[in-house]
Chains A and B, each alone.
Chain A
């Protein structure tokens, strides 16, 4: 354990990056998820098709494959495009952007289902009642739809968040210096991987425990005034 203490700042820095990647990508995934859910629920056939293609494609392909594809392939395409149009020179996507972008994009597909299910769970009568009271579209969303959407989406959202947190470990394969990467680096340089990997595992457990607490608090907050059955 003594060796681990020497490397603690490094490990903690890695943990910070892991948390940062997770939080940024969950925000992005919510944006993609809301867009996707809107696409699936809207009357437009084109939006329907696009959203369905998005969720089917993402759920069929493993995350690491997509990550590598977007990281290496995306960079190539971006530069080819820059060459062809002459709008920009050589661009390099950094690991952080690539990681956040792909994880957000991937989990957006899962969030799409989350938000779609939540929206469908909102009783139609309440929306109608809002319309009958003369609420504008914006007011309807802010007062009736959004609070309930959050409440119904929360269990599935929590699940997605916990999976997402673990998925960020894969970004270490791209070379982002997050928790797993730093643990491996420290372990390799001291030739003692076991304690470092074990510490990394424990940190993940702690993060999971923390987020469980946070999510439970959020759940209580958004269920105020709901009778338990």
Chain B
């Protein structure tokens, strides 16, 4: 009996959602697995992209700070190129453009470049690495001379100075600017949905297409993105508090 009543309840909610409410929230909830998978896709792509970008950016930034003769000009050109052009176009170039080059088509690289997922990951990595390099270059430049001199007077080699003093101190300094880059990357990741990848926006577009809706899927996607950005912002705030603990005014 009770079960019967509960069933009617759901029915009523569904009716309300379909006919009265301007947003068919029941339909969105019904399709939550698709959005969940989309969110997972977005988080993996952005997470892996940022990880690899970081791996690339640290050595590049060190090279920039030291003004290594030829390399540093090459890195500058790379950063200028990828920071000056839209991510969407970079992704198109990698996904559509590279598949036309015979050299890539006929080599083992084709396994990577024929797949939209890998192309997206590569585009995200290269793009983010360009921005991260600039952020880190600024941060490494800001490491106080005194710290470096102290390290020198302790007899540390250049390698050890970087590993022990400049890179850790610089990474910490870069954190506020880097949190912006992470959020821009999450925002930028929507372009993945234009090359057949079903990320959060992709899921929203599928929902809209399947049920012939105008905005439900996009609203759901917007809310999910907001939640992710909110969590990331909170995480970075917490992290900054931890890392900048020594800069907080002393409690009396």
Q: Which of B80, B85, B97, B186 contacts A194 (CB 8 A)?
A: B97
Q: In the complex, what residues of B have CB within 8 A of residue A43's CB?
A: none
Does residue A192 face the partner (Cβ distance < 8 Å to B)? yes
Whose C-beta in chain A lies nearest to the C-beta of B80? A205
Does residue B218 face the partner (Cβ distance < 8 Å to A)? yes
Give the docked Cα–Cα distance between A76 and B214 (Å): 7
Does residue A72 face the partner (Cβ distance < 8 Å to B)? yes
Partner-binding segment picked from B5-13, B132-140, B154-162, B187-195: B187-195
Chain B contact residues: helix, strand, loop or mixed: helix
Q: Is the CB of B218 within 8 A of A68?
A: yes
Question: How many chain A residues touch B (Cβ–Cβ < 8 Å)?
Answer: 38
Does residue A166 face the partner (Cβ distance < 8 Å to B)? yes
Does residue A64 face the partner (Cβ distance < 8 Å to B)? yes
Task: Give 11 new A-B contacts, CB below 8 A, not counting A59-B183, A76-B215, A197-B92.
Answer: A63-B187, A64-B190, A64-B201, A72-B214, A73-B215, A172-B88, A180-B89, A184-B92, A194-B98, A201-B81, A201-B90
Give the docked Cα–Cα distance between A169 and B88 (Å): 7
Q: In the complex, what residues of B have CB within 8 A of residue A204's CB?
A: 84-86, 89
Q: Is the CB of A192 within 8 A of B215?
A: no
Chain A contact residues: helix, strand, loop or mixed: helix
Give the docked Cα–Cα distance between A167 and B84 (Å): 11
Q: Is the CB of A61 within 8 A of B225?
A: yes
Does residue A124 face the partner (Cβ distance < 8 Å to B)? no
Q: Give the total number of A-B pairs whose CB atoms are below 8 A apart.
A: 108
Give the docked Cα–Cα distance between A162 and B131 (Å): 14
Q: Is the CB of B93 within 8 A of A65?
A: no
Q: Which of A62, A65, A75, A201 contacts B89 (CB 8 A)?
A: A201
Whose C-beta in chain B lies nearest to the C-beta of A69? B218
Does residue A156 face the partner (Cβ distance < 8 Å to B)? no
Give the docked Cα–Cα distance between A192 and B102 (Å): 12
A residues bordering B, Cβ < 8 Å? 57, 59-66, 68-69, 72-73, 75-77, 162, 166-170, 172-173, 180, 184, 187, 192-194, 197-198, 200-201, 204-205, 208-209
Q: Is the CB of A208 within 8 A of B84?
A: yes
Give the docked Cα–Cα distance between A200 and B90 (Å): 10
Does residue B170 face the partner (Cβ distance < 8 Å to A)? no
Give the docked Cα–Cα distance between A40 and B214 (Å): 33
Q: Which of B80, B92, B222 contacts A65 (CB 8 A)?
A: B222
Q: Is the CB of A197 within 8 A of B89?
A: yes
Question: How many chain B residues touch A (Cβ–Cβ < 8 Å)?
Answer: 39
Q: Give the contacts of B67-95 with A (CB-CB under 8 A).
A: 80-81, 84-90, 92-93
Q: Which of A72, A197, A209 contacts B215 (CB 8 A)?
A: A72
Q: In the complex, what residues of B have CB within 8 A of residue A208's CB?
A: 84
Q: Which of A69, A75, A172, A193 contacts B97 (CB 8 A)?
A: A193
Does residue B96 face the partner (Cβ distance < 8 Å to A)? yes
Closest 10 CB pairs of A and B: A73-B215, A169-B86, A76-B214, A194-B97, A60-B226, A69-B218, A166-B86, A62-B187, A208-B84, A64-B190
Given contacts A65-B201, A69-B215, A73-B214, contact A166 B85 (CB under 8 A): yes
**Closest Cβ of chain B: how far from A191's Cβ, in Å?**
8
Q: In the complex, what residues of A have CB within 8 A of residue B230's CB?
A: 60
Give the docked Cα–Cα distance between A1 and B93 (Å): 16
Q: In the complex, what residues of A have CB within 8 A of residue B190's CB?
A: 62-65
Q: In the complex, what residues of A have CB within 8 A of residue B88's CB?
A: 169-170, 172-173, 180
Q: Is the CB of B222 within 8 A of A194?
A: no
Give the docked Cα–Cα distance between A60 and B96 (Å): 30
0/1 string, B213-244, CB within 8 A of A gives 1? 01100110110011001100000000000000
Whose C-beta in chain B lies nearest to the C-beta of A196? B97
Q: Which of A60, A73, A77, A184 contacts B218 (CB 8 A)?
A: A73
Give the docked Cα–Cα distance between A65 and B187 (Å): 9
Does residue B3 face the partner (Cβ distance < 8 Å to A)? no
Q: In the complex, what residues of A have CB within 8 A of residue B85's CB?
A: 166, 201, 204-205
Q: In the complex, what residues of A have CB within 8 A of residue B86's CB?
A: 166-170, 180, 204
Whose C-beta in chain A lies nearest to the C-beta of B188? A62
**Closest Cβ of chain B: how far from A69's Cβ, in Å?**
4
What would 10 A/B residue contacts be, using CB atoms closer than 8 Å? A61-B226, A62-B187, A62-B225, A65-B204, A66-B222, A69-B218, A170-B191, A198-B97, A201-B81, A201-B85
